[in-house]
Structure 1
Amino acid sequence: MGKTFASWREADPSIPAPPQSALAILEWIGRAENLAITGPSGTGKTHFVEAIVHAVIDAGMRVSWFTLESFTATVGRAAADRSISKTIATITQAELIVVDDIGILPSSQAAAEAFYRLVDAAYERRSLAITSHLHPAGFDTIMPKTLATAAVDRLLHHAHVITTEGTSLRLSEARWTWVIPLT
């Protein structure tokens, strides 16, 4: 996680400048509001959240960062020794909890349950920031509808939702190598 606002190119991503500025001052975290950034790969979602994370840490606050898969694994290990509640309580001590890349891989029942537990525990107490290729309204396509509906209801109740658009910034900067098969 080396991306900061110093390396952020405000003009490149499809996140409009006013929300960028408003979110960068971090007041939303003090109000336990959430952030959901959705859109195609390479449009600046994770970079922007990483920059926020660095600002949060610089402001003396704590952050917990996961992908949905790593969070599910953490909760799975806690289930083995019956410490799920303790693990969730420890994670939600952070002022900002990030779950990155929701929807890249199919979500299991365990992932959906873990995500719901996190959203419910943080609801109106801590800020969550999520990145996803799917808008949260579509989470019922990757997890059971009941869990998705309950999690999204809490997640979006006090949330800033940003939808990115466009083509991948990574691909636009890629150096292409052509391989010509030998015949």
Structure 2
Amino acid sequence: MDGSVEHLGQLDFLTARENVILLGPVGTGSSHFAEGLAQAAIENDLRVAWFTLETLSAAIGKSKVDGPTARIAARMCRADPIVIDDVGLLPVGADALKRSTASSTPPTNAAPSR
């Protein structure tokens, strides 16, 4: 896959069901770039699910108590791209890390919902 900004902006990685990982130190624009890709997806009538690792882990942890895990999973399955931001910003406990990686479906493998 061509990793150029122009190519990623075409959103071909979504139809190819490829994952995109944006890495960079704090302040280099990776979150901003992800927001741009998400906005482009929205402008192309795609559904976007956006989480930080912290909010996703908290929601999954809360679902163990309240039981809405199916709601979180449904939201993720309806999305074309799923963005999980700030993965390396905060320390995450082993239980939270285990919860956040327990999905058997990679983020961009959700079937397009058009």
Q: TM (normalized to structure 2)?
A: 0.83
Q: Does 1:51 align with 2:36?
A: yes
> Measured at CA, do residues 122 and 96 of structure 1 come closer, stay the same or move farther in structure 2, by a change above 3 Å?
same
Deviation per residue, 1:26-79 (Å, 9 max, x gap) = 011112111111121111101111000000000000011111100011111211
Count of matched residue pairs: 109
Q: Secondary structure at the match of 2:26?
A: coil
The structure 2 residue matched to 1:122, chosen from 85, 106, 111, is 106
Q: Secondary structure at the match of 1:65?
A: strand
Q: Structure 2: which 5+ residue stretches go unaligned? A: none
Q: Which residue of 1 aligns with 2:79?
A: 94
Distance of 1:102 and 1:26 partners within structure 2: 22
Contact 2:22 2:30 in 1 (8 A): yes
Distance of 2:30 and 2:40 partners within structure 1: 16
Aligned ranges 1:73-84 → 2 under 5 Å = 73-84=58-69
Relative to total residues, which structure has the larger strand share, 1 or 2? 1
Contact 1:33 1:124 in 2 (8 A): yes
Distance of 1:47 and 1:124 partners within structure 2: 19
- Aligned letter for 2:11? L
Larger Rg: 1
The structure 2 residue matched to 1:71, chosen from 56, 59, 75, is 56
- Aligned letter for 2:42? I
Deviation of 1:87 after TM superposition, in Å, equals 2.1
Over the matched positions of the two proteins, sequence identity in percent amounts to: 31
- Aligned letter for 1:87? I
